[in-house]
Structure 1
Amino acid sequence: MDNSNLWSGIRAFYEPTIEIMAMWMWGLPLFAAVVAIIFILSERPNGPISFKMLLNAAFPRDLHSHASARVDRWNAIILFVIGFPLVGLFALNGLAIATNVANLLSAEFGATAPLLHAAWAIVAVQFLVFFLATDFMGYWVHYWCHTNPFLWTLHKPHHTAETLTPWTLYRQHPIEFFIVNAVPAVFGGLVTGVALYATGTALHPGTVACVGIMAYILFFVIDFLSHVHVPVSYGWLDRIVLAPVMHNLHHSIELQHRDKNNAVVLTLWDWMFGTLYLPKKGETWRWGVNEEEFGDQNPHNTLKGFYGEPFVVAGRQIRDLVRVGRRHEAEADPK
C-alpha cells in the first residue's frame, strides 16, 4: 500500500470521529448548561428566579477556566481521537468472543436444542445477558481501580478533577481507558458465549446492532450526565440507575464518600455489594482526591503531570515489589 492509500484509509476511519468531536466540543458544555437550568427550575418551582441566577447555574464562574477543566478538555481531544473508535470495537470483540466460546462448547459437548425461536426473544436475551455481564464487570473493575494500589495509580488522575464537566468523562489515563473498556467486554463475551450455547442460538445480527447502540448511546449518555456540575437525582430510581448526583458524590473529596457509588450504569451492584451511598437532603461536598493533593498541590493540573505522574508512581511500585522479592529470596537462601 502506498502512502496516499494509507492516509486515505486513516482519514476515512477518523473523519467521522473528528466530526463528532467537533460537534461535541461545543455541544457538551451547552448540554450541561441546559441540564443545570432544568435542575434549578425544578428545585425552585415557586420561588423567584432571575436570568442572572440561571446564567450562574448554567455557566458557573471558573467552571471551564479552572486548571482541572483545561486538562479535561485537552485530554478529551486526545482520548476522543484515539479511544472513541475503540469503544465500539471493544464491544464487538466481546461478541466475537461470545461466538467463539459457543462454538468451543458445541465442539466439546455437542450442540444444544434451541430454547428460543422468535427473533425478538433471541435479541432480547442475548442483549440483556451481554449488558448485565459487562455492566457487572464494569462495576468490579471500577471498584478494583479504587482498592488495588497499581490500578488506583492509573485511576487516580480521574479523581483529581476539581470541577465536573461532561469532558471529565474523558479524564482517563490511556492505560486505564484500555483496562476499563477491554476487561468488561471480554467478560461479557465469555458469559454471553455460555448463554448462546445454553439457549442453542447463534448470535443474532440484531444483537450486534443493539450492542453497538448500547456502547455509544447508553453508556455515553449516562456517563456524560454523571459528570455534569449539578447533582441531578432520579428520585427512587437512584437505587437502580446511576444518576448524576450519585456519581457526583463519587468524586467527593470527603472521607465518608470515598470508594462509594462505583456503578457504571446500574447502581443495583452498589446496593448488592455494600458500596451504595444515597446523599442526604442538603448534603454538600467538594470534588477532588484528598486534602494533600488539592488546589496548587494537585499533581495533575497539567497534561505533563496527568500523563507522567502515574508512570513515575507505577515505576516506584514495581521497583519496591522487585526489592521485596529479592529480599525474600535472600532470606530463603542465606548462602
Structure 2
Amino acid sequence: MAINPLEHLIDPHKRIYWMFLLSSMVIALIFLWLNPKKRSINLSKKLWLHPSALLDYGYFIFITIFKVTVIFPILIGAKEVALWMNEFLLAKYGFIRITGFSYTQIMMLFTLSLFIFSDFTRYWLHRFLHTIPWLWAFHKVHHSAKVLTPLTFYRVHPIESLLFGLRYSLVIGLISGVFIYGFGAMISVVDILGVNALAFVFSFAGSNLRHSHIDISFGIFERFLISPKQHQIHHSKHHINVNFGGFLAIWDWAFHSLVLSKSVNKLKFGIQQNEMKYFNRLHQLILSPFYLLYRNRTK
C-alpha cells in the first residue's frame, strides 16, 4: 500500500479519488449557480484557509503515513477472516453447495450483501463512537473541525482508524467466508474500477460534499439516503447525536436517530467550547483524547 498521500487521488478505493472530487465539484458548482447567496462562504479564503481547514490538510498527511506504517500491519486481514469463517462453517455443518443461481446472480447478491452489511455495521460503530464515553473521547477529534472540507473525512484519531479497519476486515471476511462456503471460491463483486459498484456510485454522487458547506438536501429521499446536509447536521454541536448513517439513512430511521434537513436551519460546527482548546494543533488531535480520559478518570 502506497505511503504517498497524493496517491489517494488515483486510488478509486479512496474518498478523494479524482473522479469523486470532480463529480462533487460539478454538483457543487451547479448548486452554487442555483443558490448565489451561498457562493461567498464556499468560495471564501476564510473557509479554505481557516485554521481548522489547515489542520485538516496537515493531519491528512500524518494519518495517511501512520495508517500505512503502524495500523495496517497489525490489522487482521479480510482473507484470514474469510478462511476462518469458511472452515468454521465446514466444521459445524459439513460440505454444502447452494445451487440454482447463475454466476451473475451470485455476483449481484454478494455485492448487495457486502454493501448493506458494511453500511449497517458502519452505522453502529459510528453510533457507539458517540454513545460510549471512552470512544467519544477519540471521536471528538473528528467533530472538533470548525469548518468542513473533504479532508475533514480523514480527521480521525488512530484509535478510531484501527476500529474502522477492524470493522472492514470483519465485514468483508465474514460475508466472503459465508459465500465461499455456500457457492464456492469463485465469487466476486460487481465492481467499477475494482470497487464495489454500489459504493462507487454513491461515492461518485457527491460523497465529498458531506464534509463541505454545500448543504444539499435530498428532500423526501432523506429517509432512505443520507444527504450532504444531513451529515453536516451531524457535525453541528447542537445535533451531534443524530444521522449516524454512511450511505443509507434507513438505519437512522429504524433506530430513531434520523433528523431531516428541513428541520434544521442554522449550523455551528465543532464540539463544546470548553473542549475546543484541546484540539487546535496536530499533536493535540493525537494526545488530547488520552489526556481527557485520564483527567476525567481522576476527577
When normalised by structure 2's length, the TM-score is 0.82
Q: What does the per-residue CA deviation read over 1:41-98, in whole Å, with 9 as the maximum and x for residues that have no partner?
A: 334xxxxx5xxx6852541241111111111111112223444799999999335423
Q: What does the per-residue CA deviation read over 1:11-54, in whole Å, with 9 as the maximum and x for residues that have no partner?
A: xx4277644459969998877654432212334xxxxx5xxx68
Q: What does the per-residue CA deviation read over 1:301-327, in whole Å, with 9 as the maximum and x for residues that have no partner?
A: 11121111112123446x55xx9xxxx
- Aligned equivalent of 2:90: 106
Q: 1:142 to 1:284 in 2, by over 3 A?
A: same
Q: Is residue 2:107 matched to residue 1:115? A: no
- Aligned equivalent of 1:260: 242
Say which of 259, 262, 275 aligns to 1:277: 259
- Aligned equivalent of 1:46: none
Identical residues among aligned pairs (%) = 29
Give the superposition deviation at 1:228: 1.8
Q: 1:194 to 1:27 in 2, by over 3 A?
A: closer
Whether the 8 Å CA contact 1:253–1:291 is kept in 2: the answer is no
Point out the more displaced range, 22-31 or 76-85.
22-31
Give the superposition deviation at 1:182: 1.5
Q: 1:131 to 1:93 in 2, by over 3 A?
A: farther
Partners in 1 of 2:134 and 2:194 — Cα distance? Answer: 31
- Aligned equivalent of 1:249: 233
Q: 1:112 to 1:238 in 2, by over 3 A?
A: same
Q: 1:141 to 1:316 in 2, by over 3 A?
A: same
Matches within 5 A, 1:147-186: 147-186=131-170
Q: 1:243 to 1:87 in 2, by over 3 A?
A: farther
Point out the more displaced range, 281-290 or 92-101.
92-101
Gaps of 5+ in 2: none
Q: 1:258 to 1:58 in 2, by over 3 A?
A: closer
Matches within 5 A, 1:81-230: 81-83=65-67, 93-94=77-78, 96-197=80-181, 200-207=182-189, 212-214=194-196, 217=200, 221=204, 223-230=207-214
Matches within 5 A, 1:35-50: 35-43=27-35
Partners in 1 of 2:210 and 2:130 — Cα distance? Answer: 18
AA aligned to 2:56 is D
Higher relative contact order structure (alpha carbons within 8 Å, sequence separation ≥ 6): 2
- Aligned equivalent of 2:2: 14
Point out the more displaced range, 236-245 or 136-145.
236-245
Say which of 259, 265, 282 aligns to 1:303: 282
Give the superposition deviation at 1:281: 6.1
- Aligned equivalent of 1:289: 271
- Aligned equivalent of 1:314: 293
Partners in 1 of 2:191 and 2:87 — Cα distance? Answer: 21
When normalised by structure 1's length, the TM-score is 0.74
Q: 1:78 to 1:314 in 2, by over 3 A?
A: same
AA aligned to 2:266 is T
Q: 1:91 to 1:173 in 2, by over 3 A?
A: closer
Whether the 8 Å CA contact 2:20–2:207 is kept in 1: the answer is no
Matches within 5 A, 1:232-247: 232-247=216-231
Partners in 2 of 1:125 and 1:22 — Cα distance? Answer: 28
Whether the 8 Å CA contact 1:270–1:276 is kept in 2: the answer is yes
Q: SS where residue 63 of structure 1 aligns?
A: helix
Partners in 2 of 1:228 and 1:90 — Cα distance? Answer: 32
More helix by share: 1
Give the superposition deviation at 1:117: 3.5
Give the superposition deviation at 1:190: 2.5
AA aligned to 2:254 is M
Gaps of 5+ in 1: 1-12, 44-48, 324-335
Q: SS where residue 267 of structure 2 aligns?
A: coil
Partners in 1 of 2:24 and 2:193 — Cα distance? Answer: 26
Say which of 36, 43, 49 aligns to 1:65: 49
Whether the 8 Å CA contact 1:169–1:223 is kept in 2: the answer is no
Q: 1:25 to 1:135 in 2, by over 3 A?
A: closer
Whether the 8 Å CA contact 1:17–1:84 is kept in 2: the answer is no
Partners in 1 of 2:112 and 2:75 — Cα distance? Answer: 14
Point out the more displaced range, 274-283 or 33-42.
33-42
Give the superposition deviation at 1:102: 2.2
Give the superposition deviation at 1:139: 0.5
AA aligned to 2:268 is R
